[in-house]
Chains A and B, each alone.
Chain A
Amino acid sequence: MDLYKFKYTFKKRLNFIFGLIIFIFLILLVKFFYLQVSQFDLYSSLSKNNSIKVIPIPPIRGQILDRNGEILAENKLIYTLEINPEQKLDIYELKNQLIGVVQITKNDIRKYKKILKESHYSSTLPIKVNLTNIEVAKFVANQYRYPYILLKHKFSRSYPKQESGAHFIGHINRINKKDIINLKKQNVYESYLGLDHIGKTGIEYFYENKLHGFPGYKKIEVDANNKVIRTIETIEPMHGDDIALSIDYKLQKIAEKAFGNYKGALVAMNPENGEILAYVSQPTYNPNLFTNGIDEANWKRLNDSIHKPLLDRVVSGIYPPGSTLKPFVALAALENNVRRPPFSIIDKGFFKMPNSSKIFKDWKKGGHGEVDLVKAIAVSCDTFFYGLGIELGIPKLNKVLKRFGFGEKTNIDIPNEKKGLIANAEWKKKKFNKKWYQGETAITAIGQGYTQTTPIQLALATAKLINIKNIRPHLFKKDHVSHLKKINSKYLESNNIDINLIKEGMSLVTQEGGTAAFIGRTSNYSMSAKTGTSQVFGLKKDEIYDESILPDRLKDHALFIAFAPSDNPKLVVSIVVENGGHGGSTAGPIAKKVFDTYINTGNL
């Protein structure tokens, strides 16, 4: 290659590269134009989000108090050790690292794994809750060794009454995936930012919106290491409202104690305004187990128990009303002019179906002799009601039962309420595709058969009977409960003359000859009541019900509805004692203790 040609090639190629570089410059310029001018908005907002973080400040959940200010649910300051699950730390290694400082038990690990799997979390998850002061001190002293473990202090829900009142107070638990879907559906998800808990049952669930409050936030500028540079803005959270309940905790305690080891439910209600004063469901559980996520073992124990401690029997327990239905059946008869006194029958201890050889026995061998409607209530005469039922017929009976709230939700401010059932021919046809027999009408009239009620329904029906008007049972302490769905508080169609006959019958229950006569003998006030015994299982033909040889779980349920004082009722009580045998002898004494306490402590 000669030098001239070399020089020529060089110059040509130099210019080529020069041009190439200019071209690259232009490409870069276009790229920068694209980033800095065209896409400016995007990157500007990205950069702002980078450095400005919004940290929610969780509100403090409202407390739940009884009518006298007794605390039923509160918030306790606790210390927890938490980790960020996104860092994918090995929990067993952390456990080993923490040996001698804080003991992480197998249970803690199981709980952590369960929470991790099931629940939503706003930032970190606890590996240990409720640290003792010593543990906190030890951890703080060694904190430098655990850069990934955070010591947090936060408010934790606490139920100081433990098992007592657990069903109506309810409990909170960690927010799970289903809750999130619900919250998003209700468009309230943003009010749970920074929060990990939500009310799951009872008042905690029903008044979640009031108790919960609204989170505030702190806008902070952070650097890449999440170190706070400065706080830009702070909006304080709106803490949840405290809720005062109509519950009288003293009465609640008495009622629970009166239940002893029996299973069942009790409702004590002010018949004037529907305030619930005692709300017992037995057996019960400790709601504190749930607040930071319940562990597997406890959950299994509670959920699998045949005694169903988690079931709120007051609103979700459905029982045949037994004889406690009789006053309402009697009222239905009166309104239809069936068996109005002085009509009476001679009870020989059984009822023979018309046009049939079928016989229905009375609970009392040999019968009650001459019985009119009032006495039939007092002595709970089955024979009288079998005939009454046949004469009255199901449609007319159901019309009145419906008026008193049977087969319908009471709309009490507690979740998961059951409707119960008042059956008729159409229902049976639909359900079993079978014809309705007249015998079924007869047993429906004494509260057996298909009829099912909840304890709260029985209490409400009794209160309605006293007042002859619609009321709504509630636990929120306020006469006018404006936040609840309006009910039609008009007076019922029933008339006073009929009602007074029923009341007379009920007042005789606690007097000599009545099914709960012992109450009248030992009380310094008058009580009206109705006992009930409902069969848990049907006896075969010729089989004799003998309480002494039956296993407990097959024994009859004892039921009891009552109000006192008879002439000016201040309190209504309904009780179901599962497998308690006789209404009068098992449920009656429980009711009496509640009334004694209520009336003798100056609530008259």
Chain B
Amino acid sequence: MIKSNLFRLFENIDGILMSLVVFIITLGFITLASASQQNIFLLSNQIINISIGMILLLFLSNIDPRRFLFYAPYLYIFSLIILATVYFFGFESHGAKRWIKILFFNLQPSEIIKITIPLTLAWLYHRYQNSINYKTHLIAFIILIIPCSIICYQPDLGTAILISLSGLVIIFLAGLPLKFILTSILGLLIALPYIWSSLHLYQQNRVLSLIDPGRDPLGTGYHSIQSIIAIGSGGFFGKGWSYGSQTQLNFLPETTTDFIFSVYGEEFGFIGTFGIFIIYFFILYRCVFMAQKMQNTFSRLTTAALVFTIFISSFINIGMVSGMLPIVGAPLPFISYGGTSMVVSLTMVGIIMSLHSHKSLIAN
């Protein structure tokens, strides 16, 4: 009886996706052990983070997806409220006000937005699925733009871009007319100079240092250069676990969070990078496959949006450490150290699993 109950707890877990996620988390943990120079405190913290995330994943996978649908708008409003709270009760770290202390957690509300935006937008399109028109898209834009501008002001450009992108992906998937997309892109190009001038100086510098990292090798470009050196010096086979000199001698900044992939690249080489890309591909493939199978608008859009959020943040992070994108400060899902990022990523997987296993519960 107990055994069967326990089994039923796991019945909504998708075996393939779960094994891939566990694999990548394990790989990330191994890398973190090296990146943190085997800091036991930090590693045990990460184990706690993973555990919380896993429990949440397990819990969410068993949730009736109709609840997500029902709660989506409330969750959106709730997340807007805590995002606003950051202004009043948040604390600053690294020049940005992003965190808020809840109980003994340092919560990053912008991470929660990563979940609530896809849910809310999916809810919107699901609700008006029979009459989607410009008005629907406009509302979607407004829903998206409010939290994004708040995050921009924190300032956390990386997360703001990430959330905007994942939101735009939903709007795109929901059938935003091509004509409109093309005109918007054109408009964006024209607006670019104004956007540029509204950026913070440090953000401008980051973009500039991306174009030419040698511009300021000890300032903004320093992190980028050191990261590229780390990755490049890893070579084909890598320097071996815990033998990355860039990492171990502290030439790399933020090795446990933003630059953990440089550590990975340095120690596991091109073989390792290639390997992890393959796993990423399978995760993506599995999720897209699941999304295709879904039978209602809400599930499809949510799944697609969540998985693309994960991938967009991965790309931003990997592009950043390899010098293809500016240093914006975005964690690598499943791998970077940090409670919020880990819990949020696993939450997303949990939601996807719930939507997948309860395919038939939401009728069109």
Binding site for B on A (CB under 8 A): 1-3, 5-6, 9-11, 13-15, 17-18, 21-22, 24-25, 27-29, 31-33, 35-37, 39-40, 42-44, 46-48, 50-51, 221-225, 229
CB neighbours (8 Å) of A39 from chain B are 232
- Which of B173, B232, B274 sits near A13, CB closer than 8 Å? B173
Given A29-B277, A31-B324, A36-B273; A47-B175 close (CB under 8 Å): no
Shortest distance between the CB of A298 and any CB in chain B (Å): 38
- The 3 A-B pairs of least Cβ separation, nearest first, read A43-B232, A47-B233, A36-B270
The segment from B40-48, B314-322, B327-335 that touches chain A is B314-322
A224 touching B249 by the CB < 8 A rule?
yes
B229 touching A32 by the CB < 8 A rule?
no
A14 touching B265 by the CB < 8 A rule?
no
CB neighbours (8 Å) of B228 from chain A are 35, 43
B235 touching A224 by the CB < 8 A rule?
no
Which B residues from 26 to 64 make CB contacts under 8 A with A? none
CA distance in complex: A6, B235 (Å): 47
Binding site for A on B (CB under 8 A): 129-133, 169, 172-175, 226, 228-236, 245-246, 249-251, 265, 269-270, 273-274, 277, 280-281, 284-285, 288, 291-292, 297, 300-301, 304, 308, 311, 315, 318-319, 322, 324, 364
B133 touching A1 by the CB < 8 A rule?
yes
A50 touching B245 by the CB < 8 A rule?
yes
Shortest distance between the CB of A393 and any CB in chain B (Å): 75
Shortest distance between the CB of B293 and any CB in chain A (Å): 11
- Overall SS of chain A's interface: helix
CB neighbours (8 Å) of A33 from chain B are 270
CA distance in complex: A198, B245 (Å): 38
Given A28-B322, A35-B322; A13-B172 close (CB under 8 Å): yes
With A28-B315, A31-B322, A50-B246 already in contact, 18 other A-B pairs whose C-beta atoms are closer than 8 Å: A1-B130, A1-B175, A3-B364, A6-B175, A10-B301, A13-B173, A14-B304, A17-B308, A25-B277, A35-B228, A35-B232, A37-B235, A47-B232, A48-B245, A50-B251, A51-B249, A223-B251, A224-B249
B232 touching A46 by the CB < 8 A rule?
yes
Given A6-B132, A222-B249; A21-B284 close (CB under 8 Å): yes
CB neighbours (8 Å) of B169 from chain A are 17
Shortest distance between the CB of B303 and any CB in chain A (Å): 10
B245 touching A51 by the CB < 8 A rule?
yes
B284 touching A28 by the CB < 8 A rule?
no
B235 touching A14 by the CB < 8 A rule?
no
Given A10-B300, A35-B322; A43-B229 close (CB under 8 Å): yes
Shortest distance between the CB of A1 and any CB in chain B (Å): 5
B233 touching A46 by the CB < 8 A rule?
yes
CB neighbours (8 Å) of B273 from chain A are 29, 32, 36
17 intermolecular pairs with C-beta atoms under 8 Å apart: A1-B130, A1-B131, A3-B364, A6-B132, A17-B304, A21-B308, A21-B311, A25-B280, A28-B322, A31-B324, A37-B236, A43-B231, A48-B233, A50-B245, A51-B251, A223-B250, A225-B250
CB neighbours (8 Å) of A18 from chain B are 284-285, 288
B229 touching A46 by the CB < 8 A rule?
yes
